[in-house]
Structure 1
């Protein structure tokens, strides 16, 4: 993957002036995501509210304060797979409490995605964020 964390995504977005270049970058992030096994793509991991097919499968590691939420995700649309990668860089490996308290929407807004995604893609991104917050609540 081109970035190691969400802050690097923000820095790269600031360097790219053209939205076509930013879209390509997000798609490249998606290509670099860890693969999701076909067996993980089920009704339980499917994210409703997305125009594309989207799956997010959680994995909890650790106990108590060391508990961390990890996830893999996939989509049949390359740009959406890239958006999953952006969320993965921001949230995967963090504690459920950190994820619940994170201003995910605000951090994404800093990228300007809300102004450049179609309304269907924006709705799908909101649905993915809601799923991740639900998973963090359930893991707490």
Structure 2
């Protein structure tokens, strides 16, 4: 995404803002995109990578944080509301099957995204946004 690449230096300095599923909203293209052109280019990328079955409108792709859309793609937000917790890591059932599903479904798209990125820096920012969920959620992995 041309606009995203142009903002990489600025994005590298962004203070993390974690969603309930462990994404870093501070560098998420859907959250960071502001202009119609940026939103459209993001929608095209989401479609190419297979995160959406069609190119979404700017209004549909735009994100202002958890709860801004009717449907949470991982269904984590409704779960946190049902359990009465703000974040998964404070839930008594953490780390549950839903979180394992999020991690599994998310990792499938990582290599596809790498192939679509115009540079390693662009991929690394997307990785920070979407593929550091274990770290962002405080999940212990082998070696941590």
TM score, norm. by length of structure 1 = 0.34
Q: TM-score, normalised by structure 2?
A: 0.33
Higher relative contact order (CA 8 A, sep 6+): 2
